Structure 1
């Protein structure tokens, strides 16, 4: 089975909750589309955990990108300011509690992260990326990003034209920007999966999707089959909406 999630943002409790639901087997594969760190408390611990998981692949997010830039170029005040301004203080402090050897291993791991992957599941082709696929660099690059920055920083819209014959799965932009819920958004050849785990005070949570059957997993709301997820979106609420409507009949 192939699972995809994104934007954990230091929330280890939410990540462990998802792991307990999907119950990864040795031949399963979990893809994390970046932004493991910052905002929450346990970014460094999560990086160390994920780095040791043999069936887990992490992609580069803009927060990992900021971390590498700031720590590899300490003389660059702009890099330090940008990372600090994106709620990195706990990540920064815990990184410097690590032994020098572990610091270097972690940075080398982050530097080697892929920006984009393509996989095929049940004959469907998927592009996995943190923010925006490289195929849209020419058509959507209105701010003159460099390619790497574009792929980790750009914000797609529900009207972005996706590459032909492929489905793009991305994080970075919270799903409530696409619809009114904190659940995964399914658009035209796009699936947005950042359900706002970095903003728990706004009701955000961690979302995960299984690509074989589009089952959705949520750290707060539990497991939704494809059909249940559709009903949830129609009702604009939770599973309780369906139960409440049945009680009134």
Structure 2
């Protein structure tokens, strides 16, 4: 079994295409997507169209909820609410009702058997919330609160924070694959995890994939992406980090 774990694509078609090519080259047998497929990027429908035929396990992220029902006051800082609402309007106008229904009906969690006795439990941000931020430097106590949601799972994975990390806690493994479309760790390459069974052990490989950033930047212009958000996305595409 080779399981690719993808997260936080955010409408970045160029990054997603490069990752899917890398996934194919690695002989991957299964794919798990941890949400945030379409919203906050220039090619929302194209990303949905790349994901849906894969027969992947896909769960919902906060941006998938936003793409369908909008960004509400109090969910984001007041100073960016108008910009993010304009991005949602763009996203919603570029996807079909069928696409919206697909995003709306995604489950919040999923479990994947890795062997007969070893399970992976997956969610976007937190098992009970699409929006809770659990940073990469959270305490072991904070991360271990997830174990009660699926006591038989050995592996726990989540997205949302756009930062890859791995932690051993009391015999459990907690990891985040980082972001495909909007990485925040200073490396602009797309980030994902390849999990595979080798010689009776389960190996976790963090992979980085280069993609055509210049084409992604051109997509922002050619699609008419909301101008207020273009400098932000441009900086992240180029430098793999939020502007200071």
Runs of 4+ in 1 over 4 A off after TM superposition: 24-27, 77-86, 199-202
Give, in whole Å, the separation in 1 of the partners of 2:74 and 2:45: 19
Assess if the C-alpha contact under 8 Å between 1:129 and 1:170 holds in 2. Answer: yes
Q: 1:95 aligns with which of 83, 92, 98?
A: 92
Q: How far 1:49 sits from its partner (Å)? A: 2.2
Aligned twin of 2:131: 153
Aligned twin of 2:159: 171
Assess if the C-alpha contact under 8 Å between 2:165 and 2:176 holds in 1. Answer: yes
Instruction: Mark the runs of 5 or more structure 1 residues left unpaired by the alignment.
Output: 72-76, 135-149, 176-182, 222-249
Q: 1:192 aligns with which of 140, 160, 176?
A: 176
Aligned residue-pair number: 188
Corresponding residue SS for 1:192: strand
Give, in whole Å, the separation in 1 of the partners of 2:210 and 2:204: 18
**Larger Rg over CA atoms:** 1
Assess if the C-alpha contact under 8 Å between 1:35 and 1:62 holds in 2. Answer: yes
Assess if the C-alpha contact under 8 Å between 2:70 and 2:85 holds in 1. Answer: no
- Please report the TM-score for the alignment, with normalisation by the length of structure 2: 0.64
Change (3 A) 1:118 1:64: same
Give, in whole Å, the separation in 2 of the partners of 1:199 and 1:35: 13
Aligned twin of 2:7: 6
| Residue pairs, 1:97-246, within 5 angstroms | 97=94, 103-122=96-115, 123-134=117-128, 150=129, 152-156=130-134, 157-159=138-140, 160=142, 161=144, 162-163=146-147, 164-166=151-153, 167-175=155-163, 183-188=164-169, 189-195=173-179, 197-199=181-183, 202-212=186-196, 213-220=203-210
| Residue pairs, 1:70-81, within 5 angstroms | 70=70, 78=73
Change (3 A) 1:106 1:186: same
Instruction: Mark the runs of 5 or more structure 2 residues left unpaired by the alignment.
Output: 197-202, 212-244
Q: With a CA cutoff of 8 Å and minimum separation of 6, indicate the structure with the bigger relative contact order.
A: 2
Deviations 1:128-180 (A, max 9, x none): 1000124xxxxxxxxxxxxxxx2x111222422131442210000232xxxxx
Give, in whole Å, the separation in 1 of the partners of 2:168 and 2:208: 19
**Structure showing the higher strand proportion among its residues:** 2
